[in-house]
Structure 1
């Protein structure tokens, strides 16, 4: 059970101090009071309170002097300054000096309790960060950072999958670390001394991807000025990682299937097969079986590659791993940029934990790097990242609002006749395909090109309709 936060009230008016004590008596806090600055310093050194209610006007010194003294002695506490209405500018100076919040006299019980509770919650977050900082013996594998339950499940899957030769299929949203997972599998496998070759199927033009995988001979196509080994040959004995595999063209999927089945490749422009021994690891940010049902991914290839599935959780489901990763990135980028950042402040921790991270670790990395470049340390504060973490949320809110308005407009203007005119999608699709084939004088491949789909897709559709493609 977490020990209640200790509170020190620094107030020269005994009646006001007792009023604050009464306000807080039902909140399970340990509360003590002092009346002067010198007494405050002694109490702070002796008891190390977690929260300090500090009146800025004391009989022997200014409250700002106590704040400066705490900073110079590296004494950490959540300081809530108390001031009169005419001293708001001084309260702002106190906030810039490191105070957590300020209260203007007179204030209500609810205002005091809410402010103290907020300070207490930030202390709990700081405690979490310290816990993860001190427990550096993480059970993470490879370059992963984090000890959340979802990631521990991933680590177990990696450890179980690594010794095997079975093909592994990694799934997860963009930015969750699918390539890190593939590298971890390779580094924990018997093939770790052999090459790890990664190929992003979405980043290579369709007319070049076959050559990138299987290689080519000189003169195989325009620009092929010399023989070149593909990724399959380069990965011989090791691991071939095919990222975004669901983006691979259907005709190339057939050749990949043959490679998976036989362990042989034929470079473009060659008549000789090359025997290679690779372990296949694939990844996608889509749902593979949905792609099979949609007709964009071969079912037989799916079963060959989807032997060991590993699901990487989104960052929003990883709890306090967000802070561990952010700390690592903060130190890394601070070193790269020559900045003096040392730690993540409570307000920044709160902002990081509140964001849902649609871009996952890639988005978090971008936010931390931008904050480091644009600001100075030693603490990363919430104000430094507020706009950065808000961009994605604003874009999503705008999109959601636009979609809602669009739906409302459609609902208002649709009448019963328009609703009845809607036809099943498969019927519309068949009519479009048959119309295209008719315009192309029955030539299926020309129709497929005009429709911007693979010919195999049209053949498969026609077969399902009971139509002879010939």
Structure 2
């Protein structure tokens, strides 16, 4: 099956030309003249790479990249612009774009970039499915001593002893797969397979085949029987990450597995029985999705026998030291260099950061720092600019003492240094004023 490229551009002539050139290279090409039309294609077709104009009638391509990667993290996006802009280019890459190129100047780069992007997408899809005889995780893999992570671990250990479904909630990057694996390792199913799949990595048809398998001849290209992940997880645990992205039709089939332990493969007529435990995870508000008609209420209650909300990293800043030590050892080994330490300034910046990407973001920041650092310590200079900037901004916030010092000095100027009058205006005693003047070294 050839890789699929979606071109989003409101210039009909250019879109048709690109479509022909890319099609001649062996790609399957879809077209859209707007972001809305592009999203419609993405909703019904398997797409590997999006080639998107920056200026579109219903939005900006740079902003669209962020929306695209949130909904379809496996898909790669290459942005095209008529006028190269460094600021837009930097923001596009930060938003998740594979590349940002200028129309006309970079035309000869389009085909090579598409091949590179498709290679990454293939790797992303392979990583989206994990089949292990054992989970590879246990509760010792969970790093941190803060009260919130300790409470989550204690609850997870109790949940592990049951065989009921589990729903892991929390922001992206909070370690839901690690917890899922630890729950499996702590269960009676620990000696059997732990299988994980990211539901957002596949379209409906591909996901159905991955989960439920198919009979030979079920569709064109299905030359032999294929066991789905649900069947492969028999006696073990199936971890469904990003369960909120599961299409409604597949939600109904999953509900049958949860209720009766049975399903029907694509192209098959007979029922297959399985004995599996399902652990699901999401960063979405499933109850809001239920109200909007995007998630089945009956499936939610079957999955939500036990729910566990994992704390964001900003709620456990004291754990950043232990997490950083762990990742720095890991990346030093990977880069074949001595283990680095964070100096006090860098550590303080990491503790102040909001970590919207949580532990995953911290890992990326530290890996980058290890590569950039030449000495023995990581300093603020090796941290991303946005983290440095937040730290610098924090330095400009005035403390209560600094505000008090400025105010006393200002009132002294108004009274021409008359301390009695100054004390009256400040509403404090003269002795207190003299003490404050000495304490703040006001001259």
Give the TM-score range, shorter chain: 0.5 to 0.7
Residue aligning to 1:313: 311
**How far apart are 1:388 and its partner, in Å?**
6.0
Seen in structure 2, the aligned counterparts of structure 1 residues 177 and 333 have a Cα distance that, compared at 3 Å, is same
Out of 374, 377, 392, the residue aligned to residue 375 of structure 2 is 377
Query: 2:263, 2:291 → 1: CA distance?
Result: 28
Query: 1:255, 1:196 → 2: CA distance?
Result: 21
Check if 1:161 corresponds to 2:164: no
* 1:398-451 deviation per Cα after TM superposition (whole angstroms, max 9, x unaligned): xxxxxxxxxxxxxxxxxxxxxxxxxxxxxxxxxxxxxxxxxxxxxxxxxxxxxx
**How far apart are 1:364 and its partner, in Å?**
0.4
Residue aligning to 2:174: 176
**How far apart are 1:254 and its partner, in Å?**
0.9
**How far apart are 1:385 and its partner, in Å?**
1.1
**How far apart are 1:389 and its partner, in Å?**
2.8
Residue aligning to 1:225: 223
Q: Which has the larger radius of gyration?
A: 1
- Structure 2 counterparts to residues 254-273 of structure 1, below 5 A: 254-273=252-271
**How far apart are 1:392 and its partner, in Å?**
9.5
Seen in structure 2, the aligned counterparts of structure 1 residues 365 and 355 have a Cα distance that, compared at 3 Å, is same
Residue aligning to 1:187: 185
Residue aligning to 1:250: 248
**How far apart are 1:187 and its partner, in Å?**
0.6
Seen in structure 2, the aligned counterparts of structure 1 residues 149 and 318 have a Cα distance that, compared at 3 Å, is same
Seen in structure 2, the aligned counterparts of structure 1 residues 191 and 389 have a Cα distance that, compared at 3 Å, is same
Structure 2 runs not aligned, ≥5 long? 1-137, 393-443
CA contact (8 A) 2:166 2:305 kept: yes
Query: 2:343, 2:173 → 1: CA distance?
Result: 25
Residue aligning to 1:344: 342
Seen in structure 2, the aligned counterparts of structure 1 residues 390 and 209 have a Cα distance that, compared at 3 Å, is farther
**How far apart are 1:390 and its partner, in Å?**
4.8
Structure 1 runs not aligned, ≥5 long? 1-139, 395-470
SS at match of 2:226: coil
Seen in structure 2, the aligned counterparts of structure 1 residues 215 and 181 have a Cα distance that, compared at 3 Å, is same
SS at match of 2:227: coil
SS at match of 1:181: helix
**How far apart are 1:375 and its partner, in Å?**
1.6
CA contact (8 A) 1:341 1:376 kept: no
Query: 1:290, 1:390 → 2: CA distance?
Result: 36
Seen in structure 2, the aligned counterparts of structure 1 residues 339 and 390 have a Cα distance that, compared at 3 Å, is same
Query: 2:352, 2:209 → 1: CA distance?
Result: 46
- Structure 2 counterparts to residues 57-456 of structure 1, below 5 A: 141-387=139-385, 389-390=387-388
SS at match of 2:189: coil
CA contact (8 A) 1:243 1:282 kept: yes
CA contact (8 A) 1:145 1:324 kept: yes
**How far apart are 1:274 and its partner, in Å?**
1.1
Query: 1:301, 1:159 → 2: CA distance?
Result: 24
Residue aligning to 1:96: none
SS at match of 2:281: strand
Task: With the length of structure 2 as denominator, give the TM-score of the two structures.
Answer: 0.56
**How far apart are 1:343 and its partner, in Å?**
1.9
CA contact (8 A) 2:327 2:363 kept: yes
Query: 1:185, 1:200 → 2: CA distance?
Result: 18
Query: 2:206, 2:345 → 1: CA distance?
Result: 49
Query: 2:148, 2:283 → 1: CA distance?
Result: 18
SS at match of 2:383: helix
Query: 1:154, 1:170 → 2: CA distance?
Result: 11
SS at match of 2:364: helix
SS at match of 1:254: helix
* 1:80-139 deviation per Cα after TM superposition (whole angstroms, max 9, x unaligned): xxxxxxxxxxxxxxxxxxxxxxxxxxxxxxxxxxxxxxxxxxxxxxxxxxxxxxxxxxxx
Alpha-carbon RMSD across the aligned residues, in angstroms, is 1.8
Count of aligned positions: 255
**How far apart are 1:193 and its partner, in Å?**
0.6
Residue aligning to 2:38: none
Task: With the length of structure 1 as denominator, give the TM-score of the two structures.
Answer: 0.53
**How far apart are 1:340 and its partner, in Å?**
2.1
